[in-house]
Amino acid sequence: MDARNWSRHLVEKEVRCVLADAPGAGFLYDLSGGGCMVELAEMREALGRPLTVELYEQETVRGTVVWQAGACVGVSFDAPIHDAVVRHVGFVPPEIPFAEQHPRDRFGRALPPLDAGEKRWPLD
């Protein structure tokens, strides 16, 4: 299956998952109808193993880990999921107007403005 055949949606969500009968936690980063990327809470060998991901209360999806880079794994689903499920779980932008949003790091901390440091040369 070619991953480019599916529209990917950004996701930032903690999920429960089961890797080869061992339950654990993970963090879902992207999702498409044919697969997803999950960062496993515990580093373990996952390549080629079955993985079940709980997308939300009533929706779990099963697949196989097709690649692994550290704790991050790529999962190819056994059967495609409906695009409505992908959109439902996918990234929803905040309701704050863009002009009022502050850039944040991965941990949610606000970043300082670009001109917050000392100026090293005259701009004139």
**Per-residue pLDDT tens digits for 77-96:** 999 988 888 887 876 566 77
Residue 35: per-residue pLDDT = 92
Residues of the chain with pLDDT under 50: 1-3
Structural domains of the chain, with CATH: 3-87 (2.40.10.220)
Instruction: Let me know if 66 is exposed, middle or buried by CB neighbors in 10 A (0-12, 13-18, 19+).
Output: middle
Nearby residues of 77 by Cβ (< 8 Å), 6 or more positions away: 33, 34, 35, 36, 61, 62, 63
Residue 74: per-residue pLDDT = 94
Task: Return the closest-CA partner of residue 8 out of 92, 64, 105, 91.
Answer: 91
Q: Cα–Cα distance between 32 and 17 in angstroms, integer? A: 17
Containing 86, the helix (H) or strand (E) segment is helix 83-89
Residue 54: per-residue pLDDT = 92
Residue 98: per-residue pLDDT = 64
Residue 119: per-residue pLDDT = 65
Residue 1: per-residue pLDDT = 45
Residue 49: per-residue pLDDT = 94
Q: Cα–Cα distance between 79 and 71 in angstroms, integer? A: 24
Nearby residues of 114 by Cβ (< 8 Å), 6 or more positions away: none
Q: How many CA atoms lie within 13 A of 94 on its CB side?
A: 10
